[in-house]
Structure formats: structure tokens, C-alpha cells
Amino acid sequence: MDLNNKTILVTGGTGSFGKKFIETALNKYKPKKLIIFSRDELKQYEMQNTPVFKKHANILRFFIGDVRDPDRLRRAFDGVEVVVHAAALKQVPAMEYNPFEAIKTNIIGAENIINASIDQGVEKVIALSTDKASNPISLYGATKLCSDKLFIRANTYAGGKKTKFACVRYGNVMGSRGSVIPIFLEQMKTGVLTITDKRMTRFWITLQQGVDFVIKCLGIMKGGEIFVPKISSMKVIDLAKAMAPGCRFNMIGIRPGEKLHEAMILEDDARITSEFKDFFIIDTYSYHKGGKKLPEGFKYTSDNNDQWLTEKELKKIISEKI
């Protein structure tokens, strides 16, 4: 999407994705205004004083607020044309222990985003989803599935209003807060890395790939889609070997709410999914033409993927990113 001369708001704007999205928008486009909406005033202060953002202070606006607060959202969305909804509670073990908090932010927060967007005439809203929303077994995944459903059906809820809603679903983001890389980096100091299961696989995407895909989807969305990029899988134990070949691995077993393999498209969703060169669209409304119908029984999971990162490739990627 051409973000030039647009007023854009990012919820969770001080998070890993939010900062990379804002940085990319500033480097590649000339937006009219970029609004960072988040709860943490310290992170906002630190972001404001980072050189890459400080030099664009004339178009950056920092709003302290919570997606749980509908009144604050309505005020923040005044005059906004594009909303990227990246705010979420997403730590799986923490959400298993604090389920009501996950519901308040990930589900009620989604409802508040939808209502504020429609009421304030936002043109496009794209919400970040997760592979854990497909056939969820964790509370986090269940809240994100519910959030996805709300955003997709919000296109009907909007009635004759101009606001369009879509979702982007992708896998684990390399190096983001709460991902396995920072955990392994800390554990490397002890000489022992904890591995839940040697068979475990995950989808993997870089932060920049995620941001670029969201911007692309903003450009082609018509409302009602879940966009799924074609990305690589990796074995968690291969990542551990690539990062810490001299460390000992301690197998601790799969934690509550965790899967052995992740899924982004399963058979039931595949029936309404179209395949394109670099991505899939789960499209309830069938607006997009040119895609290929998926075969019966198709599924897109981290263990049946045709794109794999080897231990050698992982080692190269990590050396460039850390």
C-alpha cells in the first residue's frame, strides 16, 4: 500500500512489530502522521528519544492508552485513515495463568477497535493474528481466533460505512520479545538450553518480512480476508544447535497450551482459501480473483511445509541478526 500522505495509527506501537512498522513507514514513505498507541510511557519515552524516530518528531504522535478503553480509542482514532492493530497479550504460559486478562485485551480490545474504527470513519483496519489461532489449544490462541472472527465479521457489522477490516496470520517472529531466541541467549550463559521436545517445529518469519507483508496486504485488502504468507519452517532443536553448539540440551516436555507443530491453514479453512504465488487468502467473501483452489484435505502446518531452514541457514541468519 502507498502510505504517502496517510494518517496511520499502530496499536501496540512500542512493541517489536510496531517499532519496525513505524521505522519502515518513515524510511519508505512520507506519511502525514504516525500515531503510536500503547500503554507503557517508559517505552514511549525511549522510542521518542531513539535517533531513527527523533528526527521525525514533527509527524509522530505518542498516545498513552489501552485497547480496553473504548473512549480513549475513539479520541485517538479521530482523523485516522489506517489502523494496524498489533496490541495483544501473547505470552502463552502467562495467558494460561491469567485468562481473564487475555480476554479483556485480545477479545474485548478487538471489539473496541472495531467500534472506534467504524464510528470515526477509519478506512482500513488490519489486525495481526497468529498461527496459534488455527485449531487453538492455548487460551492465547483461542482469544486470537475469536479476535479474527470479530474482525472478519466486522465488515458486515460496519453496514454501509466505508471501514474495511482484514487480518494477517503468520508464525513466530524471529527475535521478538518472548520468542525463543532471547530465551536461548539468556540460557546460553548457564551452558544449558531447555528444549520442550526434539520433534517440535515452528513457522518462522523475520520482523521485516512481517512488516512488508502487512503493508502489502493493506494495499490489496477488500475486507474480510485472512492473509497467510508462505514462510519457512524450522526445527526448534536445529535452532538450539545453531545458536549454542557447545551447550547441553535439557528436554523438559511440552508446556500447557503448547503444540508440537503449528498450523496456519487446516482442512476446514482450506475450502475457502485461495493460493497465490507467495501467500494464501482465507476469504469468506471470495472477492479475490486469480488464486488457485486448494485440493481437498489440504493443510499448511509447520511439519508439512515445503520450505525448511537448515541448521546451517539458521546459523547464518542468527549471526546477521544478533
- Whether 98 is covered by a domain: the verdict is yes
Q: What is the pTM of this model?
A: 0.93
- Whether 267 is covered by a domain: the verdict is no
What's the CA gap between 132 and 304, in Å, rounded? 16
Q: Which pLDDT value is given to residue 175?
A: 65
Q: Which residues form the domain of 19?
A: 7-171+204-229
Question: Could you tell me which residues are beta bridge partners of residue 228?
Answer: 280
pLDDT, one tens digit per residue, over 251-308 is: 999 887 788 999 999 999 999 999 999 999 998 777 788 899 999 999 999 999 999 9
What's the CA gap between 188 and 77, in Å, rounded? 44
What is the average pLDDT across 13-19? 95
In this predicted structure, which of 59-73, 141-155, 284-298 has the lowest mean pLDDT?
Answer: 284-298
Of residues 178 and 101, the one with the higher pLDDT is 101
6, 124, 132, 144: which is the annotated catalytic residue? 132
What's the CA gap between 156 and 171, in Å, rounded? 28
How, if at all, do strands 60-64 and 33-38 pair? parallel
- Whether 245 is covered by a domain: the verdict is no
CATH of the domain at 135: 3.40.50.720
Per the structure, the count of domains in the chain is 1
Q: Which pLDDT value is given to residue 248?
A: 93
Label residue 57 by pLDDT band (50, 70, 90): very high
- 321 assigned to active site: no
Instruction: Give one DSSP letter per residue of 202-249, joined into a string.
Output: EEEE-HHHHHHHHHHHHHH--SSEEEEE--EEEEHHHHHHHH-TTSEE
pLDDT, one tens digit per residue, over 80-110 is: 999 999 999 988 889 999 999 999 999 999 9
- Helix, strand, coil % over all residues of the chain, rounded to 5: 40, 20, 40
Of residues 257 and 166, the one with the higher pLDDT is 166
- Whether 310 is covered by a domain: the verdict is no
What is the average pLDDT across 133-138? 92
